[in-house]
Copies of this chain bind each other. A is one copy, B any other.
């Protein structure tokens, strides 16, 4: 176990930073390491889990995966995989024993390092880490409405994610900064992330050079050598299978670059039951698992021991329209089984806080919490898209990001162990108050009331009359009112001036060189 994250140190650090600046704003829950205090919930029996596992192995042995990358294919062939007979020349099949021996080296837990060590995250075990939304093409706020993502929105989302204690890690770009040309987008976007936020960042696997640029910028920002970067995983990259049963070239290339340097791969098949996967949940999970095993095996073929996370993203579509759905009962069940599978293989597990709502309304609220329910009870170590995701991923919402930060903090409070000791059992306070009395005034209450309960940013508990008099604000209104206030609290993280100059210079040079050739 690698557990060098010190929550107490982190808290005092943050407190110190806040005191220095003293900007006011909504009271947030202090950052802390969240640990699940109970066992995850099983949605299928151990025998049923084995049936899913073995069906996945049959898929890998008898059907195979199209791996559209020559080098990656050769690696697996060298490791003992074979080309599928009489199929496409890219199709790889693997024996169950080979799969088992390859994934055996994947670590069960590791530390994901951030530019500011206060935001290092322990991944695995009973830890739960939340990211912000990633990869939305559109941005939304109530005053401007919905628009294609631009760098200005991107920077505001990064600042808001940086301010929100509930966001512990960046999952990618909260919104695509589409006004940055694809050849240089990764340079400016990663520079923004590293100069606006102290938290760990992700790199998109869109070709070798982008991966190398991203890793180099993270190395510079952390002020470490390449050797240290290789010892200390500091970047994450989500790798999606192109379900069903295909791994595209840039995704495979990302695994080569990241795993060879001991950086974190979050391997996530995109298995929507009824569309890219079987309409039966068990079948969709078989396919998810086959693809995940394949991806994890590739990381270990590249470098045994490279950190990899099992990503579960199985949901269903609306069978009338084909529209993807999230936070459904089917999503919840798949989230539980995904966790069972990840634990079977002894690797960390990623799920998501997702919904398909178009507005921050009751649907957004219930689908999100259903997702969180599945993720948390399923034992997720990483909850991707934790804050700000809307519309099945097509929209990043400023208001939803604030609201989700509140939801995450509620979940984190729920995960805190319930204290049972003489003082909390409160028999003496019960005696003091006695039948028919009231607890407001007693010392037991006075000593504890300030921090006794989670104090939400959004929830409005006023009585109806006061609330109506205040203009009947909805949760969306209240979240909207906090966005600017929270953004006003943003301060760029401290960075050593030499590192900053090196980072600026790197970006300027690479931009001057034209960035990377655009292949799209």
Contact = CB atoms under 8 A, between A and B. Distances in A.
A325 B63 CA distance: 54
Given A274-B452, A359-B474, A64 B426 contact: no
A363 B448 CA distance: 26
Contacts of A360: 362
A11 B273 CA distance: 27
Given A425-B282, A435-B91, A448-B279, A410 B328 contact: yes
Contacts of A279: 426, 439, 444-445, 448-449, 452
A505 interface: no
Contacts of A476: 361-362
A44 interface: yes
A58 interface: yes
A276 B459 contact: no
Contacts of A454: 328-330
Contact of A63 (B316, B367, B394, B431): B431
A501 interface: no
Given A43-B418, A275-B438, A358 B280 contact: no
B413 A358 contact: no
A508 interface: no
Interface string A290-324: 10000000000000000000000000111111111
A361 B358 contact: no
- Among A276, A366, A453, A454, chain B packs the most CB atoms within 10 A around the CB of A366
B458 A363 contact: yes
B459 A367 contact: yes
A364 interface: yes
A403 B359 contact: no
A277 B432 CA distance: 12
Interface size class of chain A, counting residues whose CB lies under 8 Å from the partner chain? 35 or more
A293 to B, nearest CB: 14
Interface stretch (A203-211, A225-233, A240-248, A343-351): A240-248
B358 A464 contact: yes
A494 to B, nearest CB: 33
Contact of A449 (B55, B319, B369, B424): B319
A282 B419 contact: yes
A413 B322 CA distance: 20
A329 B58 contact: no
Contacts of A464: 138, 146, 358, 391, 394-395
Nearest to A66: B435
Contacts of A55: 425, 427
A431 B329 CA distance: 27
Contacts of A325: 453, 459, 461
A181 to B, nearest CB: 26
Contacts of A361: 361-362, 365, 474-476
A98 interface: no
A339 to B, nearest CB: 12
Contacts of A438: 275-276
A453 B365 contact: no
A278 B436 contact: no
A397 to B, nearest CB: 11
A287 interface: yes
A437 interface: yes
A66 B433 CA distance: 13
A464 B88 CA distance: 38
Given A244-B434, A440-B322, A420 B475 contact: no
Contact of A413 (B275, B329, B437, B468): B329
Nearest to A376: B373
Contact of A426 (B246, B282, B323): B282
Interface in A370-425: 370, 373, 377, 391-392, 394-395, 403, 407, 410-411, 413-414, 416, 418-421, 423-425
A55 to B, nearest CB: 4
Nearest to A286: B425
Contacts of A286: 425-427, 430
Smallest CB-CB A-B distances: 10 pairs: A365-B365, A283-B426, A362-B365, A329-B413, A278-B426, A369-B369, A245-B435, A361-B474, A362-B475, A365-B366
23 contacts: A38-B42, A59-B427, A65-B435, A138-B464, A146-B464, A242-B436, A273-B453, A274-B452, A279-B445, A280-B423, A282-B420, A283-B424, A286-B425, A286-B430, A328-B410, A330-B453, A358-B472, A361-B475, A362-B475, A363-B365, A363-B458, A363-B475, A370-B410
Given A44-B420, A329-B453, A330-B453, 13 more contacts: A63-B430, A244-B430, A279-B426, A280-B424, A283-B430, A286-B427, A287-B430, A319-B449, A319-B452, A325-B453, A361-B362, A361-B476, A365-B369
